[in-house]
Structure 1
Amino acid sequence: MAQIEITSHFMVPPRIIYQCLNDPERLTALMQSPVQYKAEIGSKFVLFGGAVSGEIIDLKVNEKIVYKWRFNSWPDGKYSHVEITLTEGEDGDDETDLTLVQSDIEQKDIMRTENGWKMIYFERMKKMFGY
C-alpha cells in the first residue's frame, strides 16, 4: 500500500474551498459528471458515475474533510483514507493552503489517484475561480 501527499494554494478563502468540495452542484460541475454526495458524517458518496465511492468520516467546517475512499476496481471492502486540511494562506484569510494526504492506496493506482486530485479537482477548481 502507498500514500500520496499533495499541497495546493488557492486565492480564495478556506470557506469557498470547503463549500466547493461539499456541495453536490459544485462537485457535479467540477467533475463534469453526476455525483451522489451529502455533506454529513457517515454519509456514503458516489462520484464519476460509480468509478469512485466512499464515506464521509469527519467534517470540520472550513478546516477539514476526511473520507473512506475507493475505486470500484478495488476488492470489495478495500478503502483508502483521505484527509484534506484547509488553512489560511500566509497572506491572510483570503487565500487557502490545501493539504491532501491519502493512504492505503493500491500501488498500481498511485499515479491515477494523484493525477485525478491534481487535474480533476484542484486545477479545475482554480479555473472555476478564474485563475
Structure 2
Amino acid sequence: MKRESARRTSKTTKLGYNERHAKSGITAPLPSIETFPNQYKGYEITIEIPEYTAICPKTNLPDFGTVTIHYMPNKACLELKSLKMYIHAYRDLGIFYENAVNRILHDVVASCRPVWATVTGGFTARGGLSSKIEAKYP
C-alpha cells in the first residue's frame, strides 16, 4: 500500500518527466508586447504566426508550429513588430506546447486587455503525432 501511494504522489513519471520540465519556460523573461491605441470597436483581428519554434524541455529537440492569435481589441491593439520579437524569443526557450499557448494568451491579455482572445497552436508532427492546443480568454 505504501509503495503504491508513493508511486502516485511521485513528481517524476516513468518516462522521467518531472516538475522542472513541467514548469520550464513559464516564468522566463520575454520581450514585452507593445500596443497602440485602438480607433474602432466591434471588430476582430487574426494574426497567424507560421514560424513558431521552441525547444522541448525534456528532449532538447526543436518544436515547430503555427500560432494563431484571434482577438477583439478593446482600447489597444497588438503592435506586430514587438509581437514578432516576442514570439522569436521562444526559439531558445525550453517550454511544452501547452505552456507556450497558455503563456502567449496570458501575455497578450496583459498587453492589450482585449474584449476576448483565443490563442491556438498547431504543432507539426513528431513520431506520427501532431497537437493542437487552444486557450481562451475570458
Structures share fold, TM-score greater than 0.5: no
* Larger relative contact order (CA 8 Å, sep ≥ 6): 1
Q: TM-score of the superposition, structure 2-length normalised? A: 0.28
Name the structure with the higher strand share: 1
